[in-house]
Amino acid sequence: MWLINSSIGRKVVMSVSGIALILFLTFHCCMNIVALFSGKAYNMICELLGSNWYAILATLGLAALAAIHIVFAFILTAQNRKARGENRYDVATTVNKNGILDVAEGWASSNMLVLGIIILLGLLMHLKHFWYNMMFAEIVGMETIYSPTDGFAWIQETFSNPLFVVLYLVWFCAIWFHIAHGFWSAMHTLGASGKIWQKRMQWIGLCYVTLLMLGYTVVVLGFAFGCAPSLCTACTAACCQ
């Protein structure tokens, strides 16, 4: 099958899986922002996305997408290194004199494997803090310090630890660099390869991932410094009881 056996096919699979994961990150970011303003609303979403069959099915689908993306990333990296020495990616940045865009593209394109490893380690950390204590705990009936559907409490617990705050911020930086390059590279593979559209996709990707990672960062810092509006509401409600 050409999607697996050919280099172009592997890039198409890599691109499609990457875009699908970006869409999930967008949904996840919107969900997390809800936690900034209402713990009750966030927990309602957590209950909806608990151990229901459709949530489990979606989780398995995401796991398959992530696994495919990672495996194909290693295959393509090995191929490119063998064929082109130290060049890590097949597509070179063609935009010149564009400041931060050149810096992001140049560094990210030559360090995609390193960024991918950091992202994978961050993902494992995130799964341990949330998925393991929430969906997994609910499925197997494991006892936890908070309810598996009390995602708001788990966010508070995680980001009350300064070490995890720093690790998550490092993780977000790695994702920023990875997607800043990966988005336009995927669009290039899928056909947006002209000079005009390549520049547009580079800037669209850079702006999009910057807003996306800012959303995640605001949530982490909001809970780390106790300045999330939802925390104030929760404290007020507790005092009134």
User: Tell me: the pLDDT tens digits for 200-211?
Assistant: 888 888 899 999
Task: Name the band, by pLDDT with cuts 50, 70 and 90, for residue 240.
Answer: very low
Distance CA 170, CA 158 (A): 15
pTM attached to this predicted model: 0.83
Sequential DSSP letters for 104-136: HHHHHHTSHHHHHHHHHHHHHHHIIIIIIIIII
Distance CA 24, CA 192 (A): 22
Task: Name the band, by pLDDT with cuts 50, 70 and 90, for residue 1.
Answer: low
Distance CA 237, CA 241 (A): 7
User: Tell me: the pLDDT tens digits for 154-191?
Assistant: 999 999 999 999 999 999 999 998 888 888 888 888 87
Q: How confident is the model at residue 64, as a pLDDT?
A: 94
Average pLDDT over residues 131-145: 92
Q: How confident is the model at residue 200, as a pLDDT?
A: 80
Contact 37, 222 (CB under 8 A): no
Q: How confident is the model at residue 87, as a pLDDT?
A: 47
* Predicted confidence (pLDDT) at residue 218 exceeds the cutoff of 70: yes
Q: Using the structure block, give the residue that is written with the tokens 């949330």.
A: 130
User: Tell me: the pLDDT tens digits for 57-111?
Assistant: 989 999 999 999 988 888 887 777 776 655 444 444 444 455 555 555 566 666 7
What percentage of the chain carries pLDDT values higher than 90?
A: 47
